Structure 1
Amino acid sequence: MVRLGLLLLRVATVTEAIWQFSPDLTVLAQDDDGDGTESYLPLPSTDSWYRAPEGWEEATPGTVFKIRKNAYNVSLVPIANVKEVFQVLFRSTDSLENATWGVTTVFVPHRSQCDSTTSSANCSQGIVSYQLPYDTSCLDASPSFGLQWGEPYGEIGMALGRGWWVSVPDFEGPLASYGANIVAGYITLDSVRAVLAAVPDAFGVKHPRAALWGYSNGASATEAAVEFAPKYAPALKLAGAAIGGLTPSQITSGPMIARTQVSGLLVQGIIGITSQYPKQREYLLTRLHPSGPYNVTEFFWASYMSGWQSLLYYSYVDVFQYFIGGQADLEEPGMAAMFYREGTLGVFGIPDTPLFMYQAVEDDLTPIAETDSLIQNFCEKGSNILYHRNHWGGHNDELTNGRQRSLDFMGTVLGGGDVLEFPSSGCKTVNLTFMQDPQKPIV
């Protein structure tokens, strides 16, 4: 009997669908008959491949270090339209501008976009960089490992069904720095550079082009990436980016969720962001209660949990009770500067790629006015944006309600399937009231 140490579960009442671990993180699926057909990758923390090679720091960002072909046993992967899966390990940059590295997992469809053309030699194969929100400071809950057991929303399979390749980066990096937008943006960009560099020689794709897609925390990584791109990766020409359910300011959203059903996101974010800032992490450890019902040990249990588990464990917990000085401890100048630097979007640069941005007006995790202001600033400075403001539902609802439009936007910029009407220049805001018909398939 195959034992699974990881289960992919969907929780409809919370913001994100994340992987849930069994209590014993060392238990993996076993190959019962020894023929290799039931094998799974080891946890990233124990995977010898999931390491940068000697001397890696000297390489330039986006440099490919390793390619792991046939990374998954696709006969066991419950994701639609998957033909093969490979992984790429590459050089990147962390939040303090130091060298780091990243991993992305690339899914290849049974029928690629260019397979159906009569001039495949000149075809431009679309690749979607899909920033899946995994909301955890636990490295072993990264997508590169968890996607072996399936995906939470079906969006990878939908994109593969249109003939696009799909690259899913572990954008939080090797420290699982959940909430750290700077390293997330850099790793997202470098994952695209690495994949575009790898596929011509390793997989015979001569003319790849890429677009980005992310919702919620995946949107934060995507949005940071398009802000950084003009200066950090000027030679990288993205076809476009779809960004939904964005949180422009963590300083605003943090207190909003501190005593709610999604309090676990704040715990994970504090741990994740301080993993990039040693001084702030040291300060954090001095401000958490050493004992009592809300103590430092219990707080850091989150770093061993998937996002799903932490949402359950810390649900409706007042996160500020863990701190000796309460909320004020997180407003200390060094902490406040860190949260502003990592959690404020719109300050890194002006996107120069076409953007489709979509948000629920009644988003319960972030004020719509902040997204409105962010987009207005970009538009005044020359960005090309289609902005949909949906008057139906909240944050979770727009994840589903915006899915078809996001796929159609990808069709606009990558080719393949239906398209979304998009302004040739400048910006356009559309107010709509739309609920996805659950009986209508999204393709």
Structure 2
Amino acid sequence: MRISTHSLALGMIACLTFGLTTLIGAAASAAPPLPQDDPFYAAPLGYESTEPGTILRSRPVTVAALNLLPVRVQAWQLLYRTTDFNNQPYTSVTTVMVPEGPVRPRPLLSYQTAVDAISGMCSASYSLRQGSPIDFTNPAGPLTASAGAAEILLAASGLARGWAVSIPDQGGVDNRFATPREPGYVVLDGIHAAEQFAPLGLDGMRTPVALWGYSGGGIATGWTAEMQPEYAPELNIVGAAVGAPVADLYGGLRAVNGGLLGGLIPIAVAAISKDSPEFAAAVDRYISPEGKALVADVIGRCTSQTALNTTLHELIRHYGLPDLTRYLNVSFDELFQDPVIKAALDERTLGQRAPTTPVYLYNNVNDEVSTVAGSDALANSYCSQGTSVTYRRDQFPPVVSPHVNFAVMGAPDALNWLAERLDGQATQPGCDTRTVTSTLLDPAAIDTLGGSIGAALLAMLGQPLGAGR
């Protein structure tokens, strides 16, 4: 899709005007009930005896961009049976979408959002619904929104191409984050559920499936690609685009500390503590009361809230950016040598299994969260185990936050690579690793960026996406 600068400017003006009008109306409307108060999320009796991927409940929904602007697609939510990280029955919800128009077989994009939080209001299924959760009486205001509300604009690029899209709650109904293996199970069973859902019109397990995610979504996508050979080899997954997946947790925790995104550290601690009482007890021995309060504060907040609150706390109390070492009675090195803490981090490190589907891995060399050294090691691990890997190390200079910027700037090349896989183009065996000035310098990526902007504008303006495709 090509759009002129003039039409883009007009579209943006119209979008802003429409968005402000909608914002005023939506602010006064009631948000949907939170997942913990919504009967739809409750697992029915006896679900444990069903097969993973079984649809337990479904409902049509209206999805929205940025919490407010209805997106013109057909959309439903599916509650389905899956498996947790202890191999026990578990449930999750995925939001599935297709363009308006006739039902027909089409490819499926499973898009994993960066829901780096452990609160139900941050889940993709909740934040994708119109009107949730904007609350101007809340001190955090619109920052209660999670990544799903914004990343629908990236998923819109797939819908504009005529693909079906599934956006799963990769943390499941217990809203976990940084959990090993489980995100892979949840995403794979979300794909199973989508392929069984008749209104989507997919071709069952013959449906070509692409995986995509960045940051926290990249972690979930990495787990999905790694777990698929043993958990769901029957699925026709043709490629996985894994963006900035924080493959080196040790390096990531060190790198993010002292920066604008230092608030991610309390999220990680709270998330792993939710999985492991042993980890929580170990951390408790090394952290001060003020540090414990910061960790406790993230439990009911989404990522943007946590990052902002932590930064404000540090600026007000300590006149600087978040440096979490001030709350420890040992150094990071000593903390990471605690056997319980080390085991928990090791278990959550990608690269210990080999995907059989081709992987497109992308990371900015200046990323302050997902270190390029970690992605280098992940690429080498996959390559040495026989995975076909296309790895792009992007050198675009830092602008405030390379991690945040590259979520958008790296998307067009990732989307093009996925489109080639869904079109049946094979990758070369082995590894294709390149360090580039910017993946956006590829003319095809620039063209796709224009199309993605056009798709985002159409989504925000309530125009149909991918109709007739």
2:324 paired residue among 319, 322, 326:
319
SS at match of 2:279: helix
> 1:356-407 deviations in whole A, cap 9, x for unaligned?
1112122222332321222122223221122222222332332222211122
Judge conservation of contact 1:353–1:384 (CA < 8 Å) in 2. yes
- Matches of 1:287 and 1:381 in 2, distance apart? 38
- State how 1:41-60 maps to structure 2 within 5 Å: 41-60=32-51
- Matches of 2:341 and 2:67 in 1, distance apart? 41
Q: Where does residue 203 of structure 2 map in the other structure?
A: 206
Query: Is 2:149 the partner of 1:151?
Result: yes
Q: Which has the higher helix share?
A: 2
Change (3 A) 1:71 1:220: same
Judge conservation of contact 2:95–2:167 (CA < 8 Å) in 1. yes
Change (3 A) 1:138 1:75: closer
Q: Offset at 1:183?
A: 1.8
Judge conservation of contact 2:80–2:93 (CA < 8 Å) in 1. yes
- State how 1:256-271 maps to structure 2 within 5 Å: 256-271=255-270
Q: Where does residue 437 of structure 2 map in the other structure?
A: 433
> 1:303-326 deviations in whole A, cap 9, x for unaligned?
111110101011222324445656
- Matches of 2:251 and 2:368 in 1, distance apart? 12
Judge conservation of contact 2:98–2:200 (CA < 8 Å) in 1. no
Q: Offset at 1:279?
A: 2.9
Equivalent position amino acid for 2:202 in 1: V
Equivalent position amino acid for 1:369 in 2: A
- State how 1:278-427 maps to structure 2 within 5 Å: 278-284=277-283, 288-290=287-289, 294-315=290-311, 316-323=321-328, 327=332, 328=334, 331-342=337-348, 344-347=349-352, 349-393=353-397, 394-415=402-423, 423-427=427-431
SS at match of 1:239: strand
> 1:274-327 deviations in whole A, cap 9, x for unaligned?
21223323444565544xxx1534421111111101010112223244456564
Q: Offset at 1:63?
A: 2.2
Equivalent position amino acid for 1:274 in 2: S
Q: Where does residue 4 of structure 1 map in the other structure?
A: none
Change (3 A) 1:81 1:47: closer
Judge conservation of contact 2:58–2:77 (CA < 8 Å) in 1. yes
Judge conservation of contact 2:62–2:71 (CA < 8 Å) in 1. no
- Matches of 1:265 and 1:95 in 2, distance apart? 22
- Matches of 2:63 and 2:396 in 1, distance apart? 40
Q: Offset at 1:258?
A: 2.6
SS at match of 1:441: helix
- Matches of 1:111 and 1:135 in 2, distance apart? 34
SS at match of 1:275: helix
Judge conservation of contact 1:251–1:340 (CA < 8 Å) in 2. no
Change (3 A) 1:104 1:408: same
- More displaced stretch, 99-108 vs 326-335: 326-335
Change (3 A) 1:387 1:231: same
Change (3 A) 1:75 1:192: closer
Judge conservation of contact 2:248–2:375 (CA < 8 Å) in 1. no
SS at match of 1:90: strand
2:113 paired residue among 116, 132, 136:
132
Equivalent position amino acid for 1:361 in 2: V
SS at match of 1:129: strand
- Matches of 1:325 and 1:423 in 2, distance apart? 47
Q: Offset at 1:410?
A: 2.2
Query: Is 2:61 the partner of 1:71?
Result: yes
- Matches of 1:219 and 1:309 in 2, distance apart? 21
Equivalent position amino acid for 1:263 in 2: G
- TM-score calculated relative to the size of structure 1: 0.79
- More displaced stretch, 277-286 vs 94-103: 277-286
SS at match of 2:150: coil
Equivalent position amino acid for 2:300 in 1: Y
Change (3 A) 1:203 1:246: closer
Change (3 A) 1:187 1:76: closer
- Matches of 1:159 and 1:306 in 2, distance apart? 26
Change (3 A) 1:57 1:148: same
> 1:149-170 deviations in whole A, cap 9, x for unaligned?
4832421222111111111111
Judge conservation of contact 2:247–2:350 (CA < 8 Å) in 1. yes
Q: Offset at 1:431?
A: 2.7
Structure 1 gap segments, 5+ residues each: 1-27, 33-37
Equivalent position amino acid for 1:345 in 2: L
Tell me the C-alpha RMSD between the 2 structures: 2.9
Q: Where does residue 7 of structure 1 map in the other structure?
A: none
Change (3 A) 1:81 1:408: farther
SS at match of 2:391: strand
- State how 1:203-282 maps to structure 2 within 5 Å: 203-207=200-204, 208-282=207-281
Q: Where does residue 89 of structure 1 map in the other structure?
A: 79
SS at match of 2:450: coil
